[in-house]
Amino acid sequence: MSKKFFIGANWKLNLTKEDIAPFFSQLGPCASNNSTLIIFPQMPLLSEVGRFHETHHIEMGSQNSSATAQGAFTGESSPKTLKSIGASWTLVGHSERRSIFGDTDESCKKKFELALDGVLNPILCVGEEKKIREQGFEAVKKFLEGQLNPLAEILNTHPFFQGKVNAPLVVAYEPVWAIGTGLTPTLPEIEETLSWIRSFISSKMTTPETVELFLMYGGSVNRENSKDFLSLPSCHGLLIGGASLKALDLREIFHTSTLLSGH
Ligand code: PGA
């Protein structure tokens, strides 16, 4: 049985133009029928990373995109412009965007919709803080419901999904307390949460068959633990920060995903 995976490399505010070619020469080609490697560099590096799109079989995404299509919004980048320089994905609502830059469920909803309008594949990032996890799974579910409800609304109403069957949709579960800390939930906790996210989204959709949902796990993923996460039945990908800056580690994680994908 083959399984499809999406591996996201979230480079955050790291690497410069000069680092890109050496990175890809270490990474090597990442061709696979069932695994897709998506690089999320700083926006000004998208074109540079795009030079390796064909040779290395990678896709590109932005770490953020604007909630408005155009106009007087200094410092923003629109999905259409990002698409025109090679991005085909964008992260929406990464926890650092939410906690440092004030992204809210409301602004994430707008960003998600606009990304679909601009024909980028948005990846909604959700995840709870430690104090919520400590209150137990009911509290986690309640919190995640708040972050997922706007998504469910979009899935039911946005023209992008109308009349579609199995349109791919990726959601990343990244507990805030696991990002960059070396801490992770237990494997049963991750599986329980991913499987709940799947059933929650499908219960909210009037026609669940319009999307094929892929759930990523993110938070302190590394070479050693990636295989365990990817082996969970509900896990179809990883969003990787720190470890994705090391080409050899990323290569190993990607190859693990290709082995587990059956190709
Ligand atoms: P990390 O970051 O792998 O360094 O924990 C993950 C992320 O922020 O997406």
pLDDT score of 113: 96
For the question of residue 255 being annotated catalytic, the response is no
pLDDT number for residue 119: 86
pLDDT in tens, 118-139: 789 999 999 999 999 999 999 9
pTM flag (> 0.75): yes
For the question of residue 263 being annotated catalytic, the response is: no
What is the predicted pLDDT for the residue at 173?
Answer: 98
Confidence of residue 263 (pLDDT cuts 50, 70, 90): low
- What b-and-e string marks burial along 87-115, b requiring 16 or more CB atoms within 10 Å of the CB? bebbbbbbbbbbeeeebeeebbbbbbbbb
Is there a contact between 35 and 257 (Cβ–Cβ < 8 Å)?
yes
Residue 217 has a pLDDT of: 98
Candidate from 91, 174, 216, 223 with most ligand 1 atoms within 8 A of CB, to mutate: 174
Nearest CA to ligand 1 atom 6: 241
Q: Which of 38, 64, 220, 240 to mutate to test the pocket of ligand 1 (most atoms within 8 A of CB)?
A: 240
Collect all residues with Cβ–Cβ distance below 8 Å to 54 and sequence separation of at least 6.
Answer: none
Q: What is the pLDDT of residue 252?
A: 98
179 lines ligand 1 (CB under 6 A): yes
pLDDT (mean) for 201-223: 94
> What are the extents of the domains in the chain?
5-261
Q: Which CATH number, 3.20.20.70, 3.40.50.720, 3.40.50.300, 1.20.1630.10, labels domain 5-261?
A: 3.20.20.70
Ligand 1 atom with minimal separation from the 95 CA = 8
Q: What is the DSSP letter of 162?
A: T
pLDDT at 234 over 70: yes
Kindly give, in sequence order, each residue whose CB lies less than 8 Å from that of residue 105, ignoring residues fewer than 6 positions away.
93, 146, 147, 149, 150
Model confidence at 241, pLDDT cuts 50, 70, 90, reads very high
Summarised one tens digit per residue, pLDDT across range 144-165 is 999 999 998 899 999 888 888 8
Contact 24, 257 (CB under 8 A): no
User: Quick one: pLDDT at residue 253?
Assistant: 98
